[in-house]
Structure 1
Amino acid sequence: MIKAVLFDFDGLLVDTEVISLKIYQEVLSEYGFQFSKEEYSKHYSGKTEVENIQRLINTYHLSLTHQECLNKVLDVEQKLIAQGVELKTGVKPLLQFLKENNFKIALATSSTRERAISILKRHDILHYFDEFVFSEDVNSSKPDPEVFLNACEKLHVSPGKAIVLEDSENGIMAAYNAHIPVICIPDMKKPAKEYLDKALHVYETLNDVIPYLQSFIKEK
């Protein structure tokens, strides 16, 4: 019986993967490099900002410290987010369905609190969430299960009575390692088969989650 739904953020709720691609393209263009969507999807999608910045420095031999590169990334990100970030298809209908049917809802993300809250407020969906776990709330990032286990603890729900919605390989593994069933809605990069095999279902959009969860309503 599912009582709670745990949402990832980037690439699942909001279309920030395309923004991340644009950020790295703009930063690298300063140094004469081109950065393709294929390169982003293969090596950067679903990874933490810390990992990605270090990879940029190492791959392109940038004469920047980690903090200097981070500052550049954050400056560009702030500019692009100010221009607007789109919600992924099906976000509001799913959140409304969950709230109307008394499912507990948590955001469990590698994003920072300030960044995620700001975007959720702009789309007027912050109030749907009962609990939040951000990057600053955990010691280990995905695929470590800490973020999802922390969310279950905050919701007072056992992992077996929750379900995770994710788009990335690391997110799927984090849910799998937490022993929480996971549904994958792929974003820019479709996870490899070995990861998709660990998912309960793979859907095209969040709209597809509603029919699945309807079967649990009478059990609640």
Structure 2
Amino acid sequence: MGERCLKAVIFDFDGVIVDTEPLHYRSFQVVLEPLGLGYSWQEYVDRYMGFDDRDAFIEAFRAGGRSLDQSGLEELIALKASLFQDVVTEGVSAYPGVVALISALSAEVPLAICSGALRSDIEPILRILAIENAFTVMVTAEEVAASKPDPASYVLAVRKLATAFPDRGITAACCVAIEDTPAGIVSASGAGIPVVAVTNSYSADHLSKASRIVSSLADLTIADFKTIVTT
């Protein structure tokens, strides 16, 4: 296989490219607290982080012993998305080194985003960071029936990459996913993709199922990714 095996890199978004988890948490609480369903930041980390908005609301209602029909769920998702856009306008910043890494990788291999966030959450931030053209493929919450840790979103990301670049021979085993949560690692691994985990959201002992764990993406190079898919 050698170095030629690296065919694409797939980035999670929240907690990998930008630190949006506190922004999502704030938006959820504005929606849920008036309903008596608010929860602490630690509960968010322990129970909700890694869910898409749909599953996060379903879980919050389940934990509160409340029912939620599809119409009500859609209204809550739309309200939270609107609130999140307001929060984003206050400013977001990328994690150290990640924009430079994206730039370097995109010059060598196709890049994708595979996220449980809504596309409307992601695209404005990519524009703010001036990296909206770096990603050929994007898989978001609207496109899959089950969120991470289900592998469906990563399976779809690989399929989209293979379709967009039919001459590159893109397979799951020759991609690398970058994740920050246990659910994300299980999702990517379940799709057959090796994973680099970054300790932005969880400590290393929670990310032990990854192929490699790093404290920052700042020092990674394309050579590191090639090593991951050939070991």
Common topology (TM > 0.5): yes
Match of 2:99 in 1: 92
Match of 1:49 among 32, 35, 53: 53
Q: Counterpart of 2:210 in 1: which secondary structure?
A: coil
1:129 paired to 2:135: yes
Would the aligned equivalents of 1:24 and 1:35 in 2 still touch at CA under 8 Å?
A: no
Post-superposition shift, 1:19?
Answer: 0.4
Normalising by structure 2, report the TM-score: 0.80
Q: Counterpart of 2:196 in 1: which secondary structure?
A: strand
> For residue 170 of structure 1, what is the amino acid of its counterpart?
A
Identity fraction in percent: 29
Distance 1:76 1:114 in 2: 12
Normalising by structure 1, report the TM-score: 0.84
Would the aligned equivalents of 1:42 and 1:189 in 2 still touch at CA under 8 Å?
A: no
> For residue 88 of structure 2, what is the amino acid of its counterpart?
I
**1:146-174 Cα shifts (integer Å, max 9, x gaps):** 22222222222111111000111111011
In structure 2, the CA distance between the partners of 1:67 and 1:133, relative to structure 1 (3 Å rule), is closer
Would the aligned equivalents of 2:200 and 2:216 in 1 still touch at CA under 8 Å?
A: no
Distance 1:21 1:160 in 2: 34
CA root-mean-square deviation: 2.6
Match of 1:81 in 2: 88
1:186 paired to 2:199: yes
Match of 2:16 among 12, 32, 35: 12
- Structure 1: stretches of 5+ with no match in the other structure: none
Distance 1:83 1:149 in 2: 34
Would the aligned equivalents of 2:118 and 2:140 in 1 still touch at CA under 8 Å?
A: yes
Match of 1:27 in 2: 31
Q: Counterpart of 2:103 in 1: which secondary structure?
A: helix
1:176 paired to 2:182: no
**How many equivalent residue pairs?**
214
Distance 1:33 1:159 in 2: 39
